[in-house]
Structure 1
Amino acid sequence: MPEFEADGVRIAYLDEGEGDPILLIHGFASNKQVNWIYPGWVDLLVKDGRRVIAIDNRGHGDSQKFHDPADYGAPVMAEDARRVLDHLGIERADVMGYSMGARISAFLTLNHPDRVRRAVFSGLGYGMIEGVGDPEPIATALEAERLQDVSDRNGRAFRAFAEQTGSDRRALAACMRSSRQKISEEDVARIERPVLVAVGTRDDIAGSPQKLAALIPHAEVLEIPGRDHMLAVGDKVHKQGVLAFLNNVDA
């Protein structure tokens, strides 16, 4: 996979297909393969006639790892996303992020509205505003010697996921402890691009998609029936809904 230097940080990415560009930004403890290639998103979007760019966020996948929380945060990571568009000479793209990637996508849309045509915020609803809980149990779980030592339910789930993806757990713990800058309701209301908020109906992490969408002037909601935070990613309703949104010429 290709890579480039983003303000001195090595960022890995993929670039496949031709047509209107879409930038994919994965969730916490995931990477471009797990979030987008394995569930079939890259093939789906390429077959739909799109140029698909997917990055590994700093601290994740094949990108550079840091063990200091000061090196992370969604606004910082949004600049990495913007720089990959610069690197590839792409003036404007659709953007889709999952969970943490949705928060990064929101900061990218807010800070560089001229670079984003449409945005898909998947796996994150009103949690974008109010946060998604205390990060410390997850960070502690990532640093534990053994998975068996972790009692916190969410911490255990993310620790197991990090092991499955072969992640640098110290880097992930630093990312989790980073300045988790929230977005105010007033800031979200300034997003003028068309937005799709897609969340599983059994997702107990994301927060209400309806409550988030109600704040954004041109937003709509996609409910992914019967899916929790992990299983919603590759769901067929999710994919069909995103394609319909992207292909809506009036959006």
Structure 2
Amino acid sequence: MSILNSTDFMSFDGNILKIHQMGSGRPILLLHGLFSSAEMNWIKFGHAQALCNAGFHVVMPDFRAHGQSSAPHDPAAYPNDVLVQDILCLLDYFAWDDYDLAGFSLGARTTAKLLTNGVKPNRAILTGMGWQGLSGWDGRRQFFIDAIDKRETVKRGDAHWFAVQFMKSQKIDPIAARLLLNSFGSMDVDALLKIDLPMAVICGRDDDDNGSAPLLAEKLSNAIYYEISGTHMSSVVETDLSGKMIEFLQQT
């Protein structure tokens, strides 16, 4: 069992991100989903350990306003695409010559944004993401803003119910989360589709929360689609998630 090491990292504006690391070897940076954390997406269900066992040094930040990272209420702490700025700052700190990059849901969208901002990992993995989640994000963002606004009144059966319950279970600060959601810039999908980088799109069979994952893989210039079991919420517990990640990363 690899030892988990968690440290504070000061981002570009002085806010603190919690960085979790496990294992040694080739670096892979894992980015978690909205209202989640490194613990929930990557550590709890064994994905980080599986990657360590496969020879990777796994680095997992908690996004701003998530997990153990800072969740400021100052709107100035949420400039346009602040998550991209945070991860660019982290990549500058590590200064890896050769690494891989992966993200789930919001982490996948952030991965795609990083690629269009010139980040050049050896391989990239988009999990829990479909074409419409990148090309039509504004509607998806409004869904989560509505969930935050309805968090005290939403009833079981409402489309926002599960998002609200998950947000509460993860102790997400609603003020910080709302500010963060409004910081997300649009995706330059044309630029993304021109990137000739080996990519994997991994998605649950019953996960269409972000649209069609097979269509996303088809549109990308150099991507492989892997289907695993589960919905958007349940696919992260599947051992096949990290299994398919490892299969893709170890291709020659």
Helix, strand or coil at the partner of 1:81 = helix
**Distance in 1 separating the partners of 2:144 and 2:27:** 34
**Distance in 2 separating the partners of 1:142 and 1:76:** 20
Q: Output the amino acid matched with 1:171.
A: A
**Distance in 2 separating the partners of 1:45 and 1:57:** 20
Q: Output the amino acid matched with 1:204.
A: D
- Please point out which of 215, 221, 228 is paired with 2:231: 228
Matched, 1:60 2:66: yes
Q: CA RMSD in A?
A: 2.2
Quote the residue 1:173 is aligned against.
178
- Please point out which of 237, 243, 246 is paired with 1:240: 243
C-alpha deviation, 1:68, in angstroms? 5.7
Give the unaligned 5+ runs of structure 1: none
**Distance in 2 separating the partners of 1:120 and 1:180:** 21
Comparing 71-80 with 12-21, which one deviates more in the overlay? 71-80
Report the count of equivalent residues. Answer: 245
Percentage of pairs with the same residue: 28
**Structure 1 residues 155-182: Cα deviation after superposition (integer angstroms, max 9, x where no partner):** 2211100111122122122223334413
**Distance in 2 separating the partners of 1:124 and 1:168:** 24
Tell me: CA distance 1:177–1:155, structure 2 relative to 1, closer, same or farther (3 Å). Answer: farther
- Please point out which of 114, 121, 125 is paired with 2:126: 121
Q: Output the amino acid matched with 1:234.
A: V
Contact 1:25 1:102 in 2 (8 A): yes
Q: Output the amino acid matched with 1:189.
A: L
**Distance in 2 separating the partners of 1:70 and 1:178:** 10
Contact 1:10 1:64 in 2 (8 A): yes
Quote the residue 2:145 is aligned against.
139
C-alpha deviation, 1:112, in angstroms? 2.5
Tell me: CA distance 1:94–1:73, structure 2 relative to 1, closer, same or farther (3 Å). Answer: farther
Q: Output the amino acid matched with 2:63.
A: N
- Which structure 2 residues correspond to residues 177-216 of structure 1 after superposition, within 5 A? 177-184=182-189, 186-216=190-220
**Structure 1 residues 70-126: Cα deviation after superposition (integer angstroms, max 9, x where no partner):** 744784312211222222332332011000100100111221333x11110000010
Q: Output the amino acid matched with 2:174.
A: R
Helix, strand or coil at the partner of 2:208 = coil
**Distance in 1 separating the partners of 2:191 and 2:93:** 28
Give the unaligned 5+ runs of structure 2: 1-5
Q: Output the amino acid matched with 1:206.
A: N
Contact 1:24 1:55 in 2 (8 A): yes
Quote the residue 2:3 is aligned against.
none
TM-score normalised by length of structure 1: 0.88
Matched, 1:15 2:21: yes
Comparing 134-143 with 105-114, which one deviates more in the overlay? 134-143
C-alpha deviation, 1:150, in angstroms? 4.5
Contact 1:144 1:150 in 2 (8 A): no
Contact 2:81 2:183 in 1 (8 A): no
Tell me: CA distance 1:110–1:182, structure 2 relative to 1, closer, same or farther (3 Å). Answer: closer
Tell me: CA distance 1:208–1:140, structure 2 relative to 1, closer, same or farther (3 Å). Answer: closer
**Distance in 2 separating the partners of 1:167 and 1:3:** 19
**Distance in 2 separating the partners of 1:229 and 1:145:** 20
Helix, strand or coil at the partner of 1:237 = helix
Contact 1:139 1:155 in 2 (8 A): no
**Distance in 2 separating the partners of 1:4 and 1:125:** 31
